[in-house]
Structure 1
Amino acid sequence: MKKTLKRVMIGLLAAVILLAAGLGWMFRKEIQTLNSIQKVDDYGMYQIEYSADYGLDQLVASGGASSDSELVSYVAGNLLKGLPLKFNIPDFGCSTFQAQNEEGDWLFGRNYDLNYVPSMIVKSNPDHGYASIAVANISVLGYNEEKQPDSFLSSIMSLAAPYVMMDGLNEMGFSIGVLLIRGVEPTNQETDKLDLTTTSAMRWLLDKAATVEEAIGMLENMDMHASANASYHFQMADAQGDSAVIEYVDNQLRVIRKEDGEFQMLTNFLISEDVYGFGKGQDRYAILADTLQENNGILSEKNAMSLLEAVSQNKVNEETGTLTATQWSVVYNNTQKTAKIVAGGQFGNVIEVSLGQ
């Protein structure tokens, strides 16, 4: 009897070991991804090297997602293996601009302004897409001052980080940033085209578009569904020096291209001619425009970061009583495929990231 029991126990132990080994092999890329997470700034900025497949091609092949809830269902089922997930995309104010340095490199600057959020630099290299650097707002995934991805178990939700990016740069030198427009009817295009939400559309563009023109063509062939019942516009730039602003007015795509001799920048108001000025951020926009004009669009990376500092925010909202501050600032070099990133307005502490590393 004892021998039989011992054999059964040994068999069960072997089965458990084999099951654990099988699961470890099945989820090795996800485990490798989570193990790569490191804290790069005490403000609450992390970095992840994404080795797993985040399923963008499958999402697009299935027709996409026409709402945040559909995207959440897809991510929860395919990336988080059924773990519950809820996207909570907050209001935010931002600034973007394009410049060129004295060496001829094209730069794309970006401030992300909000109350405190932890963030994550997402480096990815998909099998069927371009490698990229992106910065994600991981408060969307439930992280906050108390809960951050500091352990293996607490970091699992970070597997959804590619779908909550707010700006980024890919290996072809294409970059994009999203900015909020308050008071505009949320975009909800409904035709027979590919359906994507705000953040999943950005991920699609970053993975697949080499230039601004390619990105415009992709947007013309998809239906945009704005996240969080809000409205947004985008600035895009590339290594050839092209820049364009994308807006949606009455569910119609508007493309505002940078013309020869012009400089392009963006804050939180519409710049389409017939609705120009609707929104906020005109003061920041004026600082960006005046600085670029005075310098003929030529700024070093250091001066580009100084311009971001000049339009950074740290003030209490009179309506809500909440503090709005710049959560991160980034200068993407579209030519060299690098990024200089500052977390939480700490402009003396610059984090450098490269697609070549």
Structure 2
Amino acid sequence: MLRQIIGLASILWLLVRCSAPAVAPTPVPATATLTPPPASILTTAPTTEKNRADGLSDEEAATLSSLEQVDDYPLYTMHYYGAYHQRTSSAEGVKGLVSANRPNSNRVAVPPPWACSLFAALGDADNMLYGRNFDWEYSPAVLLFTDPPDGYASVSMVDITYLGFGGTKAGTLTDLPLVERRALLDTPSMPFDGMNEHGLVVGMAAVPGSKMPYDRHKETIDSLMVIRKMLDQARDVDQALAILQSYNIRWGGGPPLHYLIADSSGHSALAEFYEGEMAVIPNETPWHLATNHLRVIADETGHSGCQRYDRIYRRLTGTEGQLTTQEAIDLLAKVSQHGGTQWSIVYGMSSDDVNVTMGRQYDNLHAFQLSLAGE
């Protein structure tokens, strides 16, 4: 979604081509495998001094040593030890990572399916859920657990292709010496979606280009880094929106985005940027959703022109925003894209549960719990 591998013409073509999945899988009732989160936090914090022969600090070594492979796609888990603010403060950070790992990013002749789907099901106060499909080309991932000393604990999905671990390298990370995993120390700066300890969830989807607001008095940060800021610093939707409004957002060469934000109190909002302004669309029902069109200029009849959007809309309307985790997974399966959906994830805002499957393998569901990361 964020990769610089298509030109503006291709982006606009894909947005117009918001269609139903080429092949919709038949939802399979999945028995989730409860996978332990990364190694628990040490009782004595690792040091930040770099006295090791490989030049890593004890915190960095502990972070990289916590890497575990839980799915052959692959999907990894990792716990980040210590602070990472210096790695997430540069406006050039993600742009540099993308440029380094996608040098021929504008030369792809035939773009892959590109159509993310996000929804918040908020009708059951005891089981509020946030579902998200990330649709793009092959995207191995890390489910990253962070607990910074100056922020909230969170869990987030990171596409590690940006970090130089694509192709055949993706499945061999645990075989590498720690120093050759060093690029994974940049994972906090690149959350594609995530949930923090207060049940705040943030996800994004690409939309057509529009003029971004700019204020020379505000700091400029990358479109993924601002998700990190929200996860680390916001307890609810209002605080997340305040953070989003406090920065100039730089797309880093990728497509423009909008952000669907939801919290465990049942509030949600879709933040979009249009004609130099940030528009906020709060939920007026016990659910909210987004695909790849700007809602701020959507057809007032409620018809989006996107079959994925309309299918989610009908389902959430029919259930008044109430879904079980399995029903949320089934809904993501129905709007998934053959050859395009890289991961489907459901965040339990009321429970701290995380259920994720890779590559449309809906009978192979991995279950985690955010609260366990801090025990």
> Do both share a fold (TM > 0.5)?
yes
User: Which residue of the partner structure matches residue 189 of structure 2?
Assistant: 163
TM-fit CA distance, 1:229: 3.9
Which residue number corresponds to residue 253 of structure 2?
Answer: 228
Cα contact 1:72–1:87 (8 A) shared by 2: no
Question: Hey, what does 2:46 align to over in structure 1?
Answer: none
SS of 1:264's equivalent?
A: strand
2:268 counterpart residue number: 243
Q: Which amino acid aligns with 1:147?
A: K
- The structure with the larger Rg is 1
- In 1, Cα distance between the equivalents of 2:275 and 2:76? 38
For 1:128, which of 150, 165, 170 is the aligned residue? 150
Cα 1:102–1:154, aligned 2, differ >3 Å: closer, same or farther?
A: same
**Equivalent position amino acid for 1:116 in 2:** Y
Aligned residues: 311
| Structure 2 counterpart of 1:212, from 237, 243, 255 | 237
Q: What is the TM-score normalised by the length of structure 2?
A: 0.76
Q: Could you tell me which of 360, 367, 374 is aligned with 1:352?
A: 367
Note the residue ranges of structure 1 that are not aligned, 5 or more in a row: 1-18, 77-83, 315-323
CA contact (8 A) 1:327 1:344 kept: yes
One-letter amino acid of the structure 2 residue matched with residue 205 of structure 1: M
TM-score normalised by structure 1 residue count: 0.79
1:59 to 1:176, Cα distance in 2 relative to 1, 3 A: closer
How far, CA to CA, are the matches of 1:344 and 1:121 in structure 2? 15
Deviations 1:120-155 (A, max 9, x none): 100000001000010011111122121122323442
What letter is aligned with 2:164? Answer: G
Distance 1:274 1:110, change over 3 A: closer
Compared CA separation, residues 102 and 87, structure 1 to 2 (3 A):
same
* Match in the other structure for 2:334: 310
* Structure 2 unmatched ranges of 5 or more: 1-48
- For residue 129 of structure 2, the aligned residue among 82, 107, 114 is 107
Measured in 2, the distance between the counterparts of 1:250 and 1:40 equals: 43
Shift, 1:21, TM fit:
4.3
Separation in structure 1 between the aligned mates of residue 288 and residue 51 of structure 2, nearest angstrom: 53
Which has the higher mean CA deviation after the structures are superposed, 132-141 or 153-162?
153-162
**Superposition misfits of 4+ residues, deviation over 4 angstroms:** 19-26, 70-73, 84-92, 274-277
Give the whole-Å Cα distance in 1 for the aligned partners of 2:93 and 2:162.
15
Q: What percentage of residue pairs aligned between the two structures are identical?
A: 27
Question: Following TM superposition, by how much is the alpha carbon of 1:59 offset from its aligned partner in structure 2, in angstroms?
Answer: 5.4
CA distance in 2, matches of 1:218, 1:187: 16
SS at the partner of 1:201?
helix
Partner of 1:28: 58
1:50 corresponds to 2:80: yes
Alpha-carbon deviations, 1:212-253, whole Å to 9, x = none?
A: 011111122211111324211110000101010010112311
Match in the other structure for 2:353: 338
Distance, in Å, in 1 between the alignment partners of 2:204 and 2:270 is 10
1:265 to 271, 275, 289: 289
